[in-house]
Structure 1
Amino acid sequence: MTGPISNTLLAAFQQARWPSLGPGESFRFACQDECMGRCCHSIKIFLDPWDVECMARYLQISSQQFIQQYCRIDFDHRYCWPYVLLREAETGSCSFMLPGGRCSIYPVRSRNCRTYPLARAVRFTFNDNDDCTVEEKYFLLPRQPFCFGFNGLQEWNLHSWLADSGLAEYNEKADLYLSVIQYALEKLNLEQWFSPTLARFFFPIIFLPEVLRQKFGLTGEKPDHQEFYIRRMRALRLLLSDLSTSLQHPEGHPEQKALNQTSLVERLRQLLSG
């Protein structure tokens, strides 16, 4: 769903092909001036919804403006699910790379950027009540020819790297989102009924919080960014569940009747208003 690297990590997780990095294990890494910015060139940088929000706020623009100015929107060929990438980085230098290779938005760099040279693989498991448990593993990625960071002398362990890079919040927000996708695939048979039209409907819920706030009159300080993100992810899962029921179950099913009585937009309003 989020690109070839994700598929590679998933396979590594399932097959234990790469040794995972345990809490007590250490590694050495420090970015070097002679290779600064090489990792931000000709690369697919996929952005989570929380990445987009944080970057847009840092630049003091809306998420919609950020995506229009800096990103490319695409849809998964198999599931039609929408995703966002940094546009310029795919074929050249990242839009946010300064002369000398440093990052102009380093405090709000993406989750993927702040994780490197580690990689995180996640497995979501749903019980009979559809509650989700999260299992994670970290890997030290193989050395890349363009990166001299492994020649650095600074020593890290998993705890110190996660703390220094500020990953806890980004991982938490990513898990809320990715678990919804996994739930839809595993429990709702998303592949059987999701469409480009539905993807366009769900795109603002995923990536455009200001559009939703404006539409539903939620432009004040509350709910704050954190709470509104949680509400959006909850709404995303519930609306997908509603649609799955309405499209896959016969007429007369209670969920079908409820969906007929309340439009998706009105249902979304109720969910986001708390």
Structure 2
Amino acid sequence: MKFQIPLAPGTITKFLLRVVTCLVVISFLSQMAAYLLPGNPHENYLVKAFGVDSERNVPTAYSALALLFCSFLLGTIAYVKNLDSGPYKNHWKVLSFIFVYLSLDEAGQLHEKLIQPMRTMLNATGILYFTWVVPIGILVVIFLLSYTKFLFHLPVPTRKLFVAATAIYIGGALGMELVGAYRSFTAGESNILYQIIVTIEESLEMVGVVVFIHALTSYIKTSLGGVNWNIYIPGKHTQVTEHENIGIPALSGRSNTNISR
């Protein structure tokens, strides 16, 4: 038995947006319940399990997997570019590794380990209270400058989606983080306004990743010929030599690439 699963940008984007919407709504409702219904025996469980500002929970797992999926798509593009000796193939590879790190960082909250030592060193207050934004912000600027030529070699629709995804993601990860840092410094984190800021921040990050995934899947479809996953499931009358296989055929019209395992 054979199933073919096409990598359809529109279908994937709609699905991911629904998931993000559900996660954000459940997180916000759980946070509001904790403030408006104090003493509820389930409030701590709900906040820990679904709060977007909590660690090692459902939203964290989703975000880590979404970033890892970005890395996979970038790696697929890099593989094809390498076979075709395409331009900027190393840029695609570096992007793939960056998203592996972002996925690990999301899962383990690695960047937050910079907060206390940097806060002590800079004696940070106000919008820099979450001091990890300083070194990460510098790295983001360096990255954006080094990828300027790469960006302008992309097709116009892909370029616009890349810019939109970057602006949305950085607007949440750094922009709203600064707002949240100021609120945390002046009024603490146990208040509704801070939770609203955090919800907006995490929502922008997740939406930015969805836009980026849409950009990558659309680029694969229009510029590399598309991707299909072929799944073979042995049946009763299957020959002995037949086995389960997941493949990605014909990624590129020029190279007729085939990836399978």
TM-score, structure 2 as length reference: 0.27
Which has the larger strand fraction? 1
